[in-house]
Chain A
Amino acid sequence: MLELINFYLIPALVLGCIYALGAIGISLLYSILRFAHFAHGDLMTIGAYIAFGMILGVELIVFANADPDVTVSFLAKLVSMLPFSLVLAILAGMFLEKRGFGPFTYWRSLFTIVGTVALAFPLVWALDLMTPLAADEDFELDAEFKVLAVLPFAVVLAVYMARLLDRLFYKPFRSSKPIIMVIASFGVALILRSLVQMFFGVEDESYAVGYIARPLEIFLPLRIIERHLYIFGMTVILMLALHYLLTRTRTGKAMRAMSDDADLARVTGINTEQVVMWTWIVGAGLAAIAGVLLGMDAPVKPVMGWDMLLPIFAAAILGGLGSPYGAIIGGLVIGGMEELSTFHWWLSDEPLVPGAYKTAIAFGVMVIMLIFRPQGLFKGRVL
């Protein structure tokens, strides 16, 4: 029994949380932009790799400074800080615009570029100041700490990227048939993946090299690895925040209105492009977080997101495409079924489903749903 909980149920919940975070985005995008977003898995990959690149950047400066044998040019340091300064420049631009210093319509790109380069200098100096700390032999950063520290930056960049993708590749098709957007998103998925492969190569990476997690023993006899706790906690907080956004804010109300009837929403004066923007913020943000969380638990590799696509769609369809709450349940169910199916039920020694075919479970569930209840458990929209 304990084996079931420790080695099957907890991993099942972890996987379920990650699926749920991805499936929410798929469901929201489907209900508001009316298309199946095939690049969603690759948005997860992008999120995971942005976080990976940022960690690499910080480590490059801190540890290279600490080690006298290694010299890193100032230019390389500057480049490795660019992702951070880009985030700061984006946020500063948004802040100034809110304060009435805008509109930056024409100047925004220039402002962002100049700001990014300018802000990279103080960041490098700030990290140089940390050098004495890293020179200490015992100094070692906790892997979880590193990931959680860069996570907010990675999310901002991933959202920024998703909005850029929307502007470049999806917006031109807003008024054409939705299936054209699906084709475009299929192309975007490959573009994103090839970008990752170009910049990071195809090898498996990890946020912490040679890092072996010891389970926490506070809940004995339950054993939970620390990072799993973070994954649960993060997912719960995000879902509560999503619930608050959808039910208690004007933006959420507008999103729900647009998902019910886009034309009617527009007629009542809702700024539909702004709703679209918020959909991307939520969808891409959750996808990026899901990617980073997955990267904490599994290797970071270019196909990690694509491999998630099928289970995520299965989860969204199970919950009903277009229903974010359904997507959460769907994600947990699919994750649970995939992991628990490899347990040796019925007291035999063989697993119920051989591990290699785990992924097929999601597909099986999806096919059954499509045959018997295509609208999903929680009534999404079909046809």
Chain B
Amino acid sequence: MDLLAFGLLFLIQTVPYGIAVLGLNINWGFTGLFNVGVAGFYAVGAYTSAILTAPEQLHSIAFGLPAGVGWLASMLTAAIVAYAIGKICLRLRSDYLAIATIGIAEILRLVIKNYQDLTGGTYGIQNLPRPFEFVGGYGADLAFLAVGIVIVAVLYILIERMWRSPWGRVMRAIRENEVAAAAAGKNVEAFRLEAFVVGSALMGLAGAIAVHASKSVGIEGTEPLEVTFLLWVMLIVGGSGNNKGALIGVVLIWALWSILPDFIAAGFLPLIESAFDLSEENVEDVSRRIPYVRLFLIGVLLQVVLQKFPGGLLREKAPSLAKQPAS
């Protein structure tokens, strides 16, 4: 049934976003680090895993390792890149981290596009293995989705524990008042670096899982703005600092993102057509611009939420003292 296929595809697509949003929540929600290079870390993970696991390629090198190895390696490489940037920028004002992360995302895009021997350049990397492919049909999708959901669930539980742990408390302290945290004897820079590296590693994993889901990777798949921007909207709409909210934000925004084009086409195209008496060619031109209307609407949504509902759907909740594990 078509609806089933659509539903499965939709859910599979939300899995990488779910993982990345948890990472972004560690960055921003926990520690207050403005990471605008999500797409960069995502791409690092995606390409690491793709290069390691792809069978022989026409245009680039490939190693043909199992997918699991690729996923672990993708976290590692994303973490290494994050460590380098964090080491340089985290001692400076938060704006600098934002600038540097945007920079690294753009540079990585440049490298991916031009270093064909490694990344396949504009050809991309094809025929990536996908776990449980041998099942075939919907079963394969279901099994892959199950793996994804298990990963998200495990990460969610782990990160919730981190949130309640003394480590999480230090992060919130740093976010709220850096000077006070330092005065309490916490090494602010080191803690920030930890949060930045862990969060970015998850973004790398998200990238890896996304490319294995679609079985191929290319430059357009890691279009920096859309990945980064969507994740930020998901986190802020869902509620930064709240893992559950962040995950709900992913499903909501991804649903909105998926249905908006059809919605706009159904609602506005006939209106514009009748108002301006367009030729067929013009109608095609107008409908090609619908994705930008969608981007515009999501952008406005972000502004509205930022101004009117800064807490998001589910507000951040400090864990109750009784539930905290003894430190």
Contacts and interface: CB of A to CB of B under 8 A. Distances in A.
A201 B282 CA distance: 12
Interface in A5-28: none
23 contacts: A35-B95, A169-B303, A172-B307, A173-B306, A179-B94, A183-B236, A187-B229, A190-B229, A190-B295, A191-B300, A194-B295, A194-B299, A197-B289, A198-B292, A306-B225, A357-B114, A360-B107, A363-B103, A363-B104, A367-B100, A370-B89, A370-B96, A374-B96
B196 to A, nearest CB: 15
Given A198-B289, A356-B114, A313 B232 contact: no
Given A190-B295, A194-B293, A357-B114, A180 B306 contact: yes
Given A191-B300, A191-B303, A194-B295, 20 more contacts: A38-B36, A38-B102, A178-B95, A182-B34, A187-B303, A191-B296, A194-B292, A194-B296, A194-B299, A198-B292, A198-B293, A201-B289, A309-B102, A310-B106, A313-B99, A317-B96, A356-B110, A356-B114, A363-B106, A370-B96
Contacts of B32: 179
A253 B97 CA distance: 31
A317 B99 contact: yes
A178 B88 CA distance: 21
Interface string B277-290: 00000000100110
Contacts of A354: 114
Nearest to A191: B299
A366 B99 contact: yes
Interface string A162-183: 0000001100110000111011
B302 interface: yes
Nearest to B99: A313
A163 B25 CA distance: 32
A183 B24 CA distance: 14
Contacts of A38: 36, 98, 102
Contacts of B295: 190, 193-194, 197
Nearest to B297: A194
Nearest to A375: B92
Interface string A340-364: 0000000000000010110110010
A187 B302 contact: yes
A366 B107 contact: no
Interface residues of B, number: 38
Nearest to B293: A198
Interface string A28-66: 001000011010000000000000000000000000000
Contacts of B104: 363
B93 interface: yes
B113 interface: yes
Interface string B94-128: 11101110111011001001100000000000000
Q: Shortest 10 CB-CB distances between A and B: which pairs?
A: A36-B95, A191-B299, A197-B292, A194-B296, A194-B295, A356-B114, A187-B302, A194-B292, A363-B103, A198-B292
Given A190-B225, A190-B229, A195-B296, A310 B93 contact: no
A237 interface: no
Contacts of A180: 306
A363 B107 contact: yes
A269 B275 CA distance: 53
Given A184-B303, A313-B99, A359 B34 contact: no
A187 B34 CA distance: 13
B92 A374 contact: yes
Determine which residue in B88, B89, B96, B103 has the highest number of CB atoms from chain A within 10 A of its CB, and name it. B103
Nearest to A360: B107
A190 B295 CA distance: 7
B277 to A, nearest CB: 11
Interface string B156-176: 000000000000000000000
Given A187-B303, A356-B110, A366-B100, A371 B289 contact: no
B296 A186 contact: no
Given A186-B36, A187-B299, A36 B107 contact: no
B89 A184 contact: no
Contacts of A194: 292-293, 295-296, 299
Contacts of B302: 187
Interface string B292-326: 11011001101100110000000000000000000
Contacts of A357: 110, 114
A195 B110 CA distance: 26
B285 A201 contact: yes
Contacts of B89: 370
Contact of A356 (B94, B99, B113, B225): B113
Contacts of A198: 289, 292-293, 296
Nearest to A201: B289
A309 B100 CA distance: 11
Contacts of A366: 99-100, 103
A382 interface: yes
A209 interface: no
Nearest to B308: A172
B217 to A, nearest CB: 20
